[in-house]
Structure formats: C-alpha cells, structure tokens
Structure 1
Amino acid sequence: MNQAFRSAHKVGLEDYQNNPEVRLQVEMQRQRDYELGQQVAAQLERQIHH
C-alpha cells in the first residue's frame, strides 16, 4: 500500500500520516484532481446531449 501511495502522491504513507503539511498538500491536490474530473465529466455530458 505504501508503494501505491508513494506512486500516486510522490510521498510515503508514513510521511502523510505524521506530517500535517504533507497531508494538507496531498489533500489539496486530491481536491483539485476531483474538481477537474467533475469538469471533464460535465463537459463530456454536455457534448453527448448536443
């Protein structure tokens, strides 16, 4: 699991758990990725229904 986390977020799971600054950065990036995904999905949805 640590390897997958490191691969996805460029930081180890232990660092994420023990460092609030690292955790904040990872969560902010996750939020940006989620919002971008929602925008892409909405755009595709609009294209399908035109």
Structure 2
Amino acid sequence: MNYTPEMEKAMQNTHHMGYADYCRKLENRMKVEKRRQADHDKCKHILAEIDNQIHK
C-alpha cells in the first residue's frame, strides 16, 4: 500500500505516532486498533440512538 503524507499526518494527529512506529511494534498496532474499534463502537451507538429518535 502506498502511504501518503496525508495519511502520515492523520496518523500523527490521531494516534501520536508515525506509520513506521505503527508497523514496527505489535504493541503500538494493538493500541491503535483498540482505539479504532472503540471509536467505531461509539459511532455505531450514536447512530443507533439517532435512528431510534427518528423512528419514534
């Protein structure tokens, strides 16, 4: 995969590490993926709440 400067900037801003650090250590990858999963779950919950309010 081609890693672009925009992707690097987003990784730095969001996870405070570069892509090279992300790739280098399993511990770093696990932290990032846990954060991503938590964010995804939070967004799904918010969407379900909004959907529930719309269909009342």
- When normalised by structure 2's length, the TM-score is 0.82
Gap regions ≥5 residues in structure 1:
none
- Paired residues, number: 50
CA RMSD of aligned residues (A): 0.8
- Counterpart of 1:5, as a letter, is M
Shift of 1:45: 0.1
Query: Runs of 4 or more off by more than 3 Å in structure 1?
Result: none
- When normalised by structure 1's length, the TM-score is 0.91
1:6 aligns with 2:12: yes
Partner of 1:44: helix, strand, or coil? Answer: helix
Q: Percent of pairs identical after alignment?
A: 34
Q: Distance in 1 between matches of 2:53 and 2:44?
A: 14
Gap regions ≥5 residues in structure 2:
1-6
Q: Distance in 1 between matches of 2:18 and 2:28?
A: 10
